[in-house]
Amino acid sequence: MKTETIAIISHSGDIDGIASAFLLKEAFKVQLKNIFFVNYGEEDLAYVEKEIRKLAKKGKLSILISDLSADGKSMETFSKILEIANGSGGNLSWFDHHPWGVDAIRKIASRCKIAIVGENSKFCATEIVYRKFFKKDAFLDMLAEMVHYSDFNIRPDDEGTRKIVGYYALGITYYNTASSRSVVDSKMRSIIATLEKKRLYGKKIADAARTFERVNSDRIKRMSRKLYLIGSELAVGFSTDIQSTQACASIIEASGRDVGVYINIRNGKGHIRSIKSNTSMLARSLGGNGHPHASGFKLDLKEYNNFRSESDKKRVVELITEKSRKVL
């Protein structure tokens, strides 16, 4: 008989990706080494496709995906991953709360064994997986609540929860600055190992957050000095790695605009946050995806010359100006 392997692919960007992967690992008894964390960039997608191909060579492979959308540019890779799982005699299941277009539903979700996907204003991926596969549990209640605050960007009343949400926001941003995908995976897996011990956080993530805190706030200050204003609604800022929600909130605050767009010049990732406007369509028009008040997209680093010069940044601002006129 062929050996059967189960792999998990989840979102590397925040605690929802990691906690939902932890729950899937527990529910399906997945080995830590078969859990992969990615974001939507081409490099990440190429990396995970390669890892999945390796696993499929061993025999039947079933794949669980959480906290990622198959919309937009990532659809091609996820279609291949679906074929790999089906071709090996296994299957694909998907748990997500981001918006899914009809194309992604038709091409991918409809061919999954289980698919709980599409915009969900009540539950993040961790809560979806918790409700689907677990009985009520005191530790998981605490975990799901903390992740909900983090993912829906709600400030917890309780100071302890606020502290933990902060550790993960900064610590995970810092972990994602690692130069190789396998290092990012090992960092994220170490968070899972902490959750396995029924601890909401460990010393490592708290230390990572403290290490990164100073750098993060210095970069926010520097970025906020030079913002690019678009119309009366939007402002754009450029910097290397800053915690994305904090970066956008600072842009909104410093500019007095409703929509803050932060471009990470290290990887070309764009993050959009808004107070009132629905930014989903803007993200989509830029090849990305997301919720009404929290969305993102990815720019090609080469096309914009790594945002080195002022004219490269201006071209990005022009692109966002053009798209935002149509959809905001």
Task: State yes or no: residue 49 binds Mn ion (CB under 5 A).
Answer: no
Query: C-beta of 131: minimal distance to Mn ion in Å?
Result: 15
Task: State yes or no: residue 116 binds Mn ion (CB under 5 A).
Answer: no
* C-beta closer to Mn ion: residue 151 or 185: 151
* C-beta closer to Mn ion: residue 21 or 223: 21
Q: Which residue sits closest to Mn ion, CB atoms considered?
A: 16
The site map against Mn ion for 220-259 (x = CB under 5 A) is: ----------------------------------------
Task: State yes or no: residue 127 binds Mn ion (CB under 5 A).
Answer: no
Task: Retrieve residue 168's tokens.
Answer: 């993960």
The site map against Mn ion for 285-324 (x = CB under 5 A) is: ----------------------------------------
Task: State yes or no: residue 48 binds Mn ion (CB under 5 A).
Answer: no
Task: Retrieve residue 326's tokens.
Answer: 């149509």
d(CA 30, CA 33) in angstroms, rounded, equals 8
Task: State yes or no: residue 124 binds Mn ion (CB under 5 A).
Answer: yes
Task: State yes or no: residue 16 binds Mn ion (CB under 5 A).
Answer: yes
Task: Retrieve residue 211's tokens.
Answer: 């290490």
Task: State yes or no: residue 67 binds Mn ion (CB under 5 A).
Answer: yes
* C-beta closer to Mn ion: residue 96 or 185: 96
* C-beta closer to Mn ion: residue 44 or 67: 67
Query: C-beta of 297: minimal distance to Mn ion in Å?
Result: 16
Binding site for Mn ion (CB under 5 A): 16, 67, 124-125, 151
